[in-house]
Amino acid sequence: MDSREHDLSLQDDVVVLTEELIRIDSSNWGEAPETVGEAEAADYSAQRLREAGWEPEVFSTTSDSRRGVYLRIPGTDPNAPALLAHGHLDVVPAVAADWTHPPFSGYNDGTFIWGRGAVDMKDMDAMLLAVVRGWGRTGQRPRRDIVLVFFPDEEAGSRHGSHWLADHRPEMFAGVTEAVGEVGGFSLNVRPDLRLYPIQTAEKGIRWVRVHAQDRAGHGSMIHPDNAVTAVAEVVARIGRHRWPVRHTKTVQRFLEELSDAYGLDLREADTDTLVQCLGTLGLLVGAVTQNTANPTMLQAGYKHNVVPSEAMAAIDGRVLPGYEQEFEETLRQLVGPNLTIEPVIEDIAIEAPFDTVTFDLMDRALRAEDAAARAVPYMISGGTDAKALAGLGIACYGFSPLQLPDGLDYWRLFHGVDERVPIQGLQFGARVLERFLLSC
């Protein structure tokens, strides 16, 4: 197979793989220990690898249905450190009635492939499968060992997925020093001769808590200065209206400098409105990574209209910058006050990997080889990925699931959103870039 035939095969394969993966409903509903679709998606991925001559392991974590796939591909240099390429097989649920096309149809309209997981992240899973299947057919090998892992349970905190593997199967990651996964490598069109490709080098930590108030129950017609509902409501208002100080980590500082240069504006101290004007929905994310955040998301109290309950609860979604965890915890305690209790629910680390590295430069070169207008820039995401579990093993993690996006596509609205879809040409571009990168590193 010559190089042109290989490229065509790769580009055809990644489209079919994306469609077929989307058709597997691997919805992750959260707390339930059992799932159905994750196992089917893992078995499907392993079978596609076996078709190309590989012998992957299908593993289970906390139950037989929480399945993933593992494969170590030997490199040509046995002394080189290994690189992990990873994705997750689960998706968030979707309400079919809200969608233009059924969310698990994998509908291909000739321009986009539609469905839940199209960008989060069955497109990247398909890219990895297509690249590795191509190597199986041609015998081509990377310099470094490539460890390929598809995880379960990323969409519900990874307790049944990457965190479990880090605790119970660390040998899978032996010799791995760096990893690539979601969320990064997508294009941001500035002008015809310049497209920025943000590569994730950092992500905020998670601090999900519940705030509880307890007081005397009583009749709703009486005077109740000691009302648990009132106490929680006051705390929720304080937290929701609190203005957190702006803090720039190394990643955010570099990203804002790159944005300023690209747009010819000084965006280093720009407010969120200005960032949104330049970047669209991405500006909301950039605003969120310049500070700690704490958003009230749920309230729970009472059982009857005329009964003052003895307890009320608020759920708070806290996200913390690397290096500013203590500031968050001290501020939250002050906002809550001494009379209410804070119950931790989910806590996970903030991470920041170096970006002045050979590996980052190779990502940039792979992008430029396919797009002369490309410029890779580091950035931070406000959410969390499997990188948190991997960073705990000393692995430097990067979000690099490359996509070239058309003008007008609101990429960030597609994550967990209605009518999630991936551009076919962008998907094929991503497969070519990813293969270039994996072979060069």
Distance CA 48, CA 158 (A): 24
Instruction: Dihedral sign for Cα 176, 178, 181, 182, please.
Output: positive
Q: What's the mean pLDDT in 2-10?
A: 75
| 277, 283 contact by CB (below 8 A) | yes
**H or E stretch at 399:** strand 396-399
Q: What residues does each domain of the chain span?
A: 3-183+385-440, 204-348
- Between these two residues, 269 and 362, which has the higher pLDDT value? 362
pLDDT tens track for 166-209 = 999 999 999 999 999 999 999 999 999 999 999 999 999 999 99
User: From residue 355, how far is each of 200, 283, 360, 381 by CA, in Å?
Assistant: 9, 21, 6, 15
| 229, 308 contact by CB (below 8 A) | yes
The pLDDT assigned to 280 comes to 77
pLDDT surpasses 60 at 132: yes
pLDDT surpasses 60 at 33: no
Using pLDDT thresholds of 50, 70 and 90, give the confidence band for residue 1: low
Distance CA 93, CA 29 (A): 7
Phi/psi-derived region of residue 199, left when phi > 0, alpha when psi is between -120 and 50, beta in every other case: beta
Percent of the chain beyond pLDDT 70?
98
pLDDT tens track for 200-252 = 999 999 999 999 999 989 888 888 888 999 999 999 999 999 999 999 999 99
Phi/psi-derived region of residue 23, left when phi > 0, alpha when psi is between -120 and 50, beta in every other case: alpha
User: From residue 221, how far is each of 37, 218, 227 by CA, in Å?
Assistant: 51, 9, 13
The mean of the pLDDT values for the chain is 94
Residue 238: half-sphere exposure toward Cβ, Cα within 13 Å:
15
The pLDDT assigned to 198 comes to 96
Which residues 6+ apart lie within 8 Å of 417 measured at CB? none
β-strand 351-352 against 82-88: which pairing, if any? unpaired
Residue 15: half-sphere exposure toward Cβ, Cα within 13 Å:
18
Distance CA 353, CA 422 (A): 28
pLDDT tens track for 356-414 = 999 999 999 999 999 999 999 999 999 899 999 999 999 999 999 999 999 889 888 89
Distance CA 393, CA 172 (A): 11
Q: What's the mean pLDDT in 3-20?
A: 88
Distance CA 327, CA 345 (A): 19
Using pLDDT thresholds of 50, 70 and 90, give the confidence band for residue 2: low
Fold of 204-348: Alpha-Beta Plaits (3.30.70)
Start-to-end CA span in the chain (Å): 23
Which residues 6+ apart lie within 8 Å of 221 measured at CB? 306
pLDDT tens track for 75-120 = 999 999 999 999 999 999 999 999 999 999 999 999 999 999 999 9
- Between these two residues, 273 and 354, which has the higher pLDDT value? 354
Joined tokens for residue 164: 């479990």
Which residues 6+ apart lie within 8 Å of 342 measured at CB? 209, 210, 211, 212, 332, 333, 336
Using pLDDT thresholds of 50, 70 and 90, give the confidence band for residue 268: confident
Least confident segment among 37-41, 46-50, 282-286, 340-344: 282-286
Residue 269 burial by Cβ neighbours in a 10 Å radius (0-12, 13-18, 19+) = exposed
Read off the DSSP letter of residue 218: E
The pLDDT assigned to 32 comes to 61
Backbone angles phi, psi at 67, to 5 degrees: -110, 155
CATH class of the domain defined by 3-183+385-440: alpha beta
The pLDDT assigned to 270 comes to 79
Using pLDDT thresholds of 50, 70 and 90, give the confidence band for residue 147: very high
Looking up tokens 């571009």 gives 429
pLDDT surpasses 70 at 31: no
Instruction: Dihedral sign for Cα 84, 90, 91, 92, please.
Output: negative
Amino acid at 81: P
The pLDDT assigned to 30 comes to 79
The reported pTM is 0.92
Topology alike, domains 3-183+385-440 and 204-348: no
Q: What's the mean pLDDT in 45-73?
A: 96
pLDDT tens track for 309-335 = 999 999 999 999 999 999 999 999 999
| 291, 245 contact by CB (below 8 A) | yes
The pLDDT assigned to 34 comes to 63
